[in-house]
Amino acid sequence: MYTAYVADTPNGRKLIIALEELGLDYRVRHVDLGAGEQFAPDFLEISPNNKIPALVDERTGRSLFESCAILYHLGQATGRLIPDSDVVLQWLFLQAASVGPMLGQLWWFRHAAPERNGMALDRYTRETQRLYGVIERRLAVSNHIAADEYSMADIAFYPWLATHDELGIDIRAYPHVDAWLRRIAERPAVVRSQLKMRKA
Ligand X SMILES: N[C@@H](CCC(=O)N[C@@H](CS)C(=O)NCC(=O)O)C(=O)O
Find the binder of ligand X among 8, 37, 66, 136 (CB under 6 A). Answer: 66
Complex with ligand X: residue 50 or 142, whichever CB lies closer: 50
In the complex, what is the shortest distance from the CB of residue 191 to ligand X, in angstroms, rounded to a whole number? 21
- Assess 159 for contact with ligand X (CB under 6 A): no
Count of residues in the chain: 200
Q: Does 121 bind ligand X (CB under 6 A)?
A: no
- Contact status: 162 vs ligand X (CB under 6 A): no
Angle subtended by helix axes 100-111 and 10-22, to nearest 10: 130
- CA distances in angstroms from 58 to 13, 25, 39, 62, 124, listed in the order given: 20, 10, 22, 7, 40
Under the criterion CB under 6 A, does residue 50 sit at the interface with ligand X? yes
β-strands 54-57, 2-6 pairing: antiparallel
Contact (Cβ atoms closer than 8 angstroms) between residue 98 and residue 131: yes
Q: Is 51 one of the binding residues for ligand X (CB under 6 A)?
A: yes
From 9, 128, 151, 193, residue interacting with ligand X (rule: CB under 6 A): 9
- Is 67 among the residues that bind ligand X (CB under 6 A)? yes
Contact assessment for residue 165 and residue 107, using Cβ atoms and an 8 Å cutoff? no
Which stretch of DSSP H or E encloses residue 52?
none
Kindly state whether residue 138 participates in binding ligand X, applying the rule CB under 6 A. no
Residue 35 or 119: which CB sits closer to ligand X? 35
- Give the interface with ligand X as residue ranges (CB under 6 A): 7, 9, 11, 33, 38, 50-53, 66-68, 96, 100
